[in-house]
Amino acid sequence: MLKHFLPDQHVKSIFEITPHSLKEKGVKGIITDLDNTLVEWDRPNATPKLISWFEEMKQSNIKVTIVSNNNENRVKAFSHPLEIPFIYQARKPMGRAFRRALSEMGLRKEETVVIGDQLLTDVLGGNRSGFHTILVVPVAQTDGFFTKFNRLVERRILNWFRKKGMIQWED
């Protein structure tokens, strides 16, 4: 059961994920979380660097869909100016939003990665649904109310993985 919390890959930032590295793995699509994955949870808009990252993905024919547990206003306000498809109130780690994103992109699981900053929502949901999962270090050091609880649980799970030699990276 705990293996569902183990990401396939770990990166310090979304910017370490390049079109080249994705295409080498046959990836044509990204399902990504929003808050603390792409930008701080309280930042309303994309940074210029993130806008460039999205553009690079688009130019490389890699589709991106934002899948967030946040509300419609938050996700739409962020995604709409960038013309990036999104799913709000996703109820991750449940699989429905992942399947919907996959269907809307017209891709298969084997061609898609799930990127997020949380084990209990993004990684668990992506793994249970059969995707390659990439855990990123959270962009902000602060979290919303519910995420604070998740982080406590995540630290215990990550420490267990470290003790078992299943991960080598540091937080």
Query: Domains (ranges, CATH) in the chain?
Result: 2-163 (3.40.50.1000)
Would you state the pLDDT for residue 2?
A: 78
Question: Above 80 in pLDDT, residue 85?
Answer: yes
| CA–CA gap between residue 67 and residue 163 (Å, rounded) | 32
Q: The whole model's pTM is what?
A: 0.90
Please name every residue paired with 64 in a beta bridge, in sequence order, or none if there are none.
30
Give the contacts of 152 (CB within 8 A, at least 6 positions apart). Answer: none
* 143 or 98, higher pLDDT: 98
Question: Above 90 in pLDDT, residue 161?
Answer: no
| CA–CA gap between residue 3 and residue 127 (Å, rounded) | 9
HSE-CB of 72 using CA atoms within 13 angstroms? 0
- Please return the burial class of 101, using the count of CB atoms within 10 Å of its CB with bins 0-12, 13-18 and 19+: buried
Would you state the pLDDT for residue 144?
A: 64
- Which strand (E) or helix (H) includes residue 66? strand 63-67
Which one, of 56, 2, 26, 15, lies nearest residue 132 by Cα?
26
Task: Locate 59 and state its tokens.
Answer: 């130019």
Give the contacts of 84 (CB within 8 A, at least 6 positions apart). Answer: 54, 64, 65, 66
- pLDDT over 90, % of the chain: 77
Give the contacts of 16 (CB within 8 A, at least 6 positions apart). Answer: none
